């Protein structure tokens, strides 16, 4: 979804996206559904190839795998909406941050190492990121003890709260971009 907005900005056609009377959530939903479809197809190919080439099989039940994948895809939506908000507020100045936000999130959410080994201020940041809890849920199927009683519930609760908040802020940012003329600056 960030890529959709950045591509519109680079091709100087962002004004056509912004001036449509459709609410922001429709652009988000369309971009997210298309990206999710690509992500699920890629994941399926990776699972099949890892089983065939390396003999690795997932030990997650199908429902747990579906919940995990849905959570990761919803987390990607949160990052995308946040990046879109940055672009609508800061324009081209947000471009570098938009590209690096995913890498920054990976540092704090425990992809590379457990979030419990982070120093305290960074651990608190990591615990506020839903991906942290989705990863805890995933690791629990591979013998790692979860630090939370129900990481999946915590993750989905955080995701829904952030999604509602970000959609409201995105609509406000869209209105502001239309009112201040930032849309025209990004399209010329």
N-to-C CA span, the chain: 21
Mind listing the pLDDT tens digit for each residue in 73-109? 999 999 989 988 888 888 878 888 888 888 888 889 8
pLDDT at 118 over 80: yes
- The encoded tokens of residue 138 equal 């995933």
Neighbour-count burial for 36-68, b at 16+ CB within 10 Å, e otherwise: beeeeeeeeeeeeeeeeeeeeeeebeeebbebb
Rounded CA separation 51/40 (Å): 16
pLDDT digit string, tens, across residues 152-166:
999 999 999 999 999
d(CA 177, CA 170) in angstroms, rounded, equals: 10
- Least confident window among 65-74, 130-139, 150-159, 169-178: 169-178
pLDDT at 65: 93
Give residue 6's pLDDT band: very low, low, confident or very high (50, 70, 90). Answer: low
State how far the Cα of 176 lies from the Cα of 185, in Å rounded to an integer. 13
What pTM does this model have? 0.85
Assign 52 a pLDDT band (cuts: 50, 70, 90). Answer: very high
Q: Under DSSP, is residue 111 helix (H, G, I), strand (E, B) or coil?
A: coil
The span from the CA of 114 to the CA of 146, in Å, is 10
Q: How confident is the model at residue 186 (pLDDT cuts 50, 70, 90)?
A: low
* Contact in structure between 154 and 131 (CB atoms under 8 Å): no
Residue 159 has which token pair? 């995701």
> Quick check: 130 and 78 in contact, CB under 8 A?
yes
Cβ atoms 94, 86 nearer than 8 A: yes
Q: Is the CB of residue 146 less than 8 Å from the CB of residue 137?
A: yes
Please report the pLDDT score of residue 98 as a whole number.
80
């Amino acid at each position: 979804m960030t890529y959709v907005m950045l591509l519109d900005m680079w091709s100087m056609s962002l004004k056509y996206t912004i001036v449509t009377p459709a609410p922001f959530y429709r652009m988000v939903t369309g971009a997210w559904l298309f990206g999710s479809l690509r992500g699920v197809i890629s994941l399926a190919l990776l699972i099949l190839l890892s089983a065939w080439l390396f003999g690795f099989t997932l030990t997650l039940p199908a429902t747990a795998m579906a919940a995990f994948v849905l959570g990761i895809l919803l987390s990607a939506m949160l990052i995308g909406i946040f990046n879109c908000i940055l672009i609508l507020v800061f324009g081209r100045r947000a471009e570098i941050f938009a590209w690096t936000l995913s890498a920054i999130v990976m540092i704090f959410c425990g992809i590379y190492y457990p979030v419990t080994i982070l120093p305290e201020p960074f651990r608190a940041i990591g615990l506020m990121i839903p991906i942290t809890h989705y990863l805890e849920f995933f690791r629990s199927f591979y013998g790692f003890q979860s630090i939370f009683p129900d990481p999946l519930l915590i993750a989905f609760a955080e995701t829904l709260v952030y999604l509602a908040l970000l959609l409201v802020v995105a609509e406000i940012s869209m209105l502001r971009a239309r009112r201040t003329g930032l849309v025209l600056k990004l399209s010329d």
